[in-house]
Amino acid sequence: MKLLLDAGNTRLKWAWWDHGFKPGGTVVHAGRSPQAVMDAIDLKLVPKQVWVANVAAPTLHAAIEDWAQRQYNVMPRWVVSQATACGVHSAYAQPEKLGVDRWLALIAAYHRVHGAAIVVDAGTALTLDVVDARGQHLGGLIAPGLGTQRQSLWKGTQVRADTAQGPVHWLANHTDAAVAWGTLQGVLGLIERVYAAIRSEHAGIVPIMTGGEATQLMPHLDSGWQWVPDLVLEGLARIATEAS
**Cα–Cα dist 192/179, whole Å:** 20
Cα separation, 38 vs 90, whole angstroms: 32
Which of 42, 39, 12, 38 shows the shortest CA–CA distance to 27?
A: 12
Tell me how far apart the alpha carbons of residues 191 and 183 are, in angstroms, rounded to a whole number. 13
Q: What are the phi and psi torsion angles at 166 (to 5°)?
A: 130, -170
- DSSP state letter for 88: E
- Contact between 105 and 232 (Cβ < 8 Å): yes
Q: Of 83, 74, 88, whose CA–CA distance to 1 is shortest?
A: 74
Question: 13-51 burial, b for 16+ CB within 10 Å, e for fewer?
Answer: bbbbbeeebeebebbebeeeebeebbeebeeeeebebbb
Element housing 214 (H / E): helix 214-217
Residues acting as catalytic residues: 101
Cβ burial of 235 (10 Å; 0-12, 13-18, 19+) is buried
